[in-house]
Structure 1
């Protein structure tokens, strides 16, 4: 206390006042409020991730068993034909889903960026499917694609008896019905991302390109789209995450069938593993799905942190 008083006399400044208990409480209040949520997240998210990893290394069946078997469950998974069908379907479904959503979302955003009339109504119309759950989307498209009730029955009722659209019951085409429904729901969200990116581009860049004689198509291809690389990257990350964890859409639309022709890893994990008292096998498939998500998120986070560091 003497030192602080002498220092204040030498500098001519008043000694700093000690914080009151109320000020200390106010400083700690945000941490106290967030602590329960952080503890719950650590326990029920990351804790269960570690528990799933532990179960994937055991011979657990109907109930958890902690007899360590190493990577035997992963070896069983790699030898399972149904898992490889689900993985191949994920590559096909995810690739088409991401590509079509990006193209369709970019086209819709460019059209809306022309300041057309009723832009707000059209934007709401495109975004509306994203407000629905995938269960609702799957049920609606199941009705539409049902050969006896939907589009095929309607077109045949118009007199086109030779029309056929039986993708929902065709093992070779069932996975494409998932693509149709998923694109219908997610393309509006991608359109919103692109539109926000377009509205954030400096108009002076576009005006400079117009003064150089560039046409509208060339401006968008050579000038605008390169400026939207962060938006494209973010959209790819989000869509890939949706594709990897797709479960409810498959269950509502195809049920993984016919047979297991439209299975995805998430439905394999539920129907073939957990639903058949194969906890260890299901945990192994869950960890591989988590690995797929991390393979997408880690490069994204790395690029974000790197851009902020050098920005």
Structure 2
């Protein structure tokens, strides 16, 4: 396992970073180009749009996934009747591939026979809901599909964390007359900190590599309005046969993850070491 980690992960990462400073096109080359690939990358409108879309999609996915997932978990934790059925229904979308999810929501959001057509058939003829063809809000149409598929997993993780809380804590809170919402906010959620960290890591990894959902729904359109970094990398490397540019974009994605992960890891493990 150590050998695989060193060769596949560390070795290939260093190989990619090195070739991002070269003039590699169809095949890898060692002709040094300095920061030329990065200057070209950050001067391209398509890459800037992809970064903006990833920021919007990522921030909203993190917030809504955690809020909706925890809320659903808290409701199911009340030992409601038919819990297994509800849990299965909510988790079911996670069993689908992103391609299937993207195609399903492409049909649902289609103005000719989707939500817009159904609402208009009820008499609201002025109703308009066509996010996938509107460049200003297309990323929110993709966000809906992503939340529909991924929220179930977050719910299950949160539910497992809630089921691990000692029931005596709830009894003590009720005896002291503490409202349920305040018990969740001040007692339960702080105790579930490791669970939230796990959920954040899983959600974050899905955000960074989002690709197939965009391809299935919009193929990056209209125009380049729904472009994301993973699609940009794939198109540059395999469609345009520009390995150097694709490697540079991949390295920037790695740097963005490191900027978030390294300070968090330092604070997390530093706090444990002091404790």
- Counterpart CA distance in 1 for 2:66 and 2:206 is 14
Q: CA deviation at 1:208?
A: 1.6
Matched with 2:133 is 169
Q: Which runs of 5+ in 1 are unaligned?
A: 1-36
**Does 1:208 find its partner at 2:178?**
no
Q: 2:254 aligns with which of 290, 293, 310?
A: 290
Aligned pair count? 275
* Comparing 200-209 and 89-98, the one that deviates more: 200-209
Q: How does 1:246-285 map to 2 (within 5 A)?
A: 246-272=210-236, 274-285=238-249
RMSD across aligned positions (CA) = 1.9
Give TM-score scaled by structure 1 length. Answer: 0.83
Aligned to 1:184: 148
Is 2:45 the counterpart of 1:66? no
Please identify the structure whose Cα radius of gyration is greater.
1
Shift, 1:173, TM fit: 0.8
Gaps of 5+ in 2: none
Matched, 1:121 2:112: no
How far has the Cα of 1:104 moved from its partner?
0.2
SS in 1 for 2:112: coil
Q: Within 1, Cα distance between the matches of 2:56 and 2:81? A: 37
Matches within 5 A, 1:1-311: 38-272=2-236, 274-302=238-266, 305-306=269-270, 309=273
Q: Tell which has more relative contact order, 1 or 2 (C-alpha 8 A, sep 6+).
A: 2
Give me the whole-angstrom Cα distance separating, in 1, the residues matched to 2:236 and 2:30. Answer: 21
Distance in 2 of aligned mates of 1:242 and 1:84: 20
C-alpha distance in 2, partners of 1:128/1:307? 38
Report the TM-score when normalising by structure 2. 0.93
CA contact (8 A) 1:206 1:223 kept: no
